[in-house]
Amino acid sequence: MSATETRFRDRQAARRQLVKLAGTLVLVLVVINVIALYGLDRIRREAEAYAKVTERLIETTDLAREAQVAFKTQVQEWKNVLLRGHDPKDLLRYRDAFHGQEGMVEQRLGQVRERAAGLGMATDAVDNVLALHADLKVRYGAALDALDLGTPEAAWATDRSVRGMDRPLTEAFDTLVAQVRELAAARRQAVEAKVEAMTALQRNVLIGVHAAGIALVLLSLVLALRALRRR
């Protein structure tokens, strides 16, 4: 075999080794990119789930507050019935406002319960508020049916008949709102911790894959150089 043929074969061998090395580099890059994209997709999906959970928790908290405010307004409308309902037109207006707030409380509490159940949260607190409000609705209704605003004394007597009835429900509302806030905060922290853990895992995996890829490339380079030296 002539020297020219030998050099040609050596160059061919060198090209093959370079092609193998390039293939190894491409393979390493593909693996790294696939792992990176998979990890980023998982984090994206978790982030989207976190955003949805956070949105529902915020809605639940807002609805609980709205129910609490509506109940306070309902109590105020009851005072308006007694204090300003001597005129039949005013009485009708304030009674309608009272019942409107009463219905608002029921609606908002129903929405709180629905969303809480959908989030896997306990509904004991909202069930207790619903039961107390239903009982209070009956007692207020009976007082309204028996209401006689012909004299101030009659209004005072009606007020005394229901005085203090709203306190247990007010306290139950405070408990409900505080519980929803606490559960919302705990759920938010749990989701944030999960996303953070996934991000840290993805970072460690990428570091490991990069290290393995560099080692594989160096090994391929060493093997290629050894093969060329034998020629």
Span 164-214, pLDDT tens digits:
788 888 898 888 888 888 877 777 777 777 777 777 777 777 777 777 767
Return the pLDDT at 2.
Answer: 61
Residue 81: Cβ-neighbour burial (10 angstroms; 0-12, 13-18, 19+):
buried
Long-range contacts of 125-129 (CB under 8 A, 24+ apart): 125/172, 125/175, 125/176, 125/179, 125/180, 126/64, 126/176, 128/172, 128/176, 129/67, 129/169, 129/172, 129/173, 129/176
Tokens of 78: 């009851």
| Residue 70 burial by Cβ neighbours in a 10 Å radius (0-12, 13-18, 19+) | buried
CA distance 13 to 150: 113
Residue in 223, 115, 129, 222 with CA at minimum distance from that of residue 175 = 129
Distance CA 229, CA 164 (A): 98
User: Is residue 13 within 8 Å of 228, Cβ to Cβ?
Assistant: yes
Alpha carbon distance 228, 13 (integer Å): 7
The pTM assigned to this predicted structure is: 0.66
Residues contacting 185, CB < 8 A, separation 6+? none
- pLDDT tens for the 231 residues of the chain, in order: 565 666 556 566 656 766 676 676 777 777 777 777 777 777 777 777 777 777 888 888 889 999 999 999 999 998 888 777 777 788 889 889 999 999 999 999 999 999 888 888 888 889 999 999 999 889 888 888 777 766 666 667 777 777 778 888 889 888 888 888 887 777 777 777 777 777 777 777 777 777 776 777 677 667 666 665 655
Please give the sequence-ordered ranges of beta strands (E in DSSP) within the chain, or none if there are none: none
